[in-house]
Amino acid sequence: MKYLIKLTYQAIGSATLVGFIFLSVPQSTEAKRDPQSSIQNKQDSGQVAGRYRGGGTFGTCPEVKIPLTALSSFKIVPIEGSSSTITYVGGVTVLENPTLWFYIPPELNANLVASFELKDANGKVISKISSTDPAMVESDGIVSVSTPSLEIGQVYEWYFMVYCDVADQEVPIYVNGGIQRIPLDPQLAGQLASLSPLEQAEHYRQNRLWYDAITILGNLRRDRPTDTAVEAAWDQLLQDISITDIP
């Protein structure tokens, strides 16, 4: 049985007004801790060194065909002078209370516990939410988590963890990445306010505002599961962020 864990901290701000301004972004907290990042420093705005997929089998977790996956952009960068790589995960948003999306494979049992944490640029946990708090709703294994209000310009780091056994919450399967809020351009927002949600999602997609595009399309898929135009836009977006195996 597949579950949607709808983890809600605060009501999501309107996703219908759109616009963007890219800023010069200071290096993320996670990158500062990584000695290789001073050499590479190639992550996109809002990204931190992280993992977009939770690999391995831990504790009572069964083997899965497709692992726990953050529906987020990522970049794999080779480390100079080494055969290793760094994966940068995350991106930017124009929403004050953005939503993050995750895929949980159906093989994970119904007793799983999910936990979400959001940390500020200093590493302080500013939000911690457990799946035991809100109601669970079945929706093809897709999880959405809305964040508290984000400050413009600050790079936050998020963690999404899954525990397969309620009694054993020591070793989770997890994904983590970054998110940064950038200013909403009022003029551009006014121009686009008359567009349909699907058209707005396309605008977000074309301008690499992946978090916001995923939120619009994720909500549309919940409301209009048989809409082929929404399905095609969703598939195109996942291809854009190189996640092509989510059923």
Burial of 247 (0-12, 13-18, 19+ CB in 10 A): exposed
Q: Please report which helix (H) or strand (E) contains residue 86, including its range.
A: strand 85-93
Q: Is the pLDDT of residue 46 over 50?
A: yes
Give pLDDT tens digits for 147-176: 999 999 999 999 998 887 666 666 788 999
Whether 68 shows a pLDDT value over 50: the answer reads yes
Residue 56 pLDDT: 61
Q: Residue 179 has what pLDDT?
A: 98
Mean residue pLDDT of the chain comes to 79
Q: Is residue 192 over pLDDT 50?
A: yes
Q: Where are the domains of the chain?
A: 4-185
User: What integer pLDDT is reported at residue 113 of this predicted model?
Assistant: 80
Among residues 92, 88, 107, 110, the alpha carbon closest in space to that of 19 is found at 92
Distance CA 85, CA 75 (A): 10
